[in-house]
Chains A and B, each alone.
Chain A
Amino acid sequence: ILNVEQSPQSLHVQEGDSTNFTCSFPSSNFYALHWYRWETAKSPEALFVMTLNGDEKKKGRISATLNTKEGYSYLYIKGSQPEDSATYLCAFTTSGTYKYIFGTGTRLKVLA
């Protein structure tokens, strides 16, 4: 059974702090790694989809990197703001299948 692990499970940071989370996934048969942002009472929204080893993506203060050889991805948030408070999910897809395997998420709380 393929497993995706995210760490930490949750964290609290002060407004203005920078932070990062990890997503670990199986490195064999890799196709894509997704990051989603899930705010309370809303539905998950895609942040990034990465497919190539060494990929780096950026959207405003949020960026992500991908290492497919060792099976991990980092999500970085620079200068955290209270509106960044959400659960951040990563999902892994394998080549040739149409299954999405999700991690349990990292719950971020940014304190004003």
Chain B
Amino acid sequence: EAQVTQNPRYLITVTGKKLTVTCSQNMNHEYMSWYRQDPGLGLRQIYYSMNVEVTDKGDVPEGYKVSRKEKRNFPLILESPSPNQTSLYFCASSFTYKGLAGAKNTGELFFGEGSRLTVL
């Protein structure tokens, strides 16, 4: 079954304790990205990756790191979590294709189940 898997699904931690949220997809997608969902705000992009070893900042990257050592995995790292990082996090992946002008483009996003993180 095609899927994006995130772990953990729920986590309560304390300020400053490093944590990693894993994300894995089995669809051979080149593109992967992380979002956070907060009440009253839309999904906001944290980081994205167009391929192995290629990552770039989204709109809210502060306090987060990512790595893309393998195509299927894209972990989100919080080196020193703070209470303002309490949120619902989604990982997503997409296929890429060449558009009319030859540039690479991405398609619809396939989302993981979400990880609800609470930082005390």
Contacts and interface: CB of A to CB of B under 8 A. Distances in A.
Interface in B94-110: 103, 105-110
A49 B105 contact: no
B30 to A, nearest CB: 10
Report, as a range, how many residues of chain A touch the other chain.
20 to 34
Interface residues of B, number: 26
B108 A46 contact: yes
Interface stretch (A60-68, A69-77, A97-105): A97-105
27 contacts: A31-B105, A32-B105, A34-B108, A43-B90, A43-B113, A44-B43, A44-B90, A44-B109, A44-B111, A45-B111, A49-B107, A49-B108, A89-B42, A89-B43, A95-B103, A98-B31, A98-B48, A98-B56, A98-B106, A99-B58, A100-B43, A100-B45, A101-B42, A102-B35, A102-B42, A104-B40, A104-B41
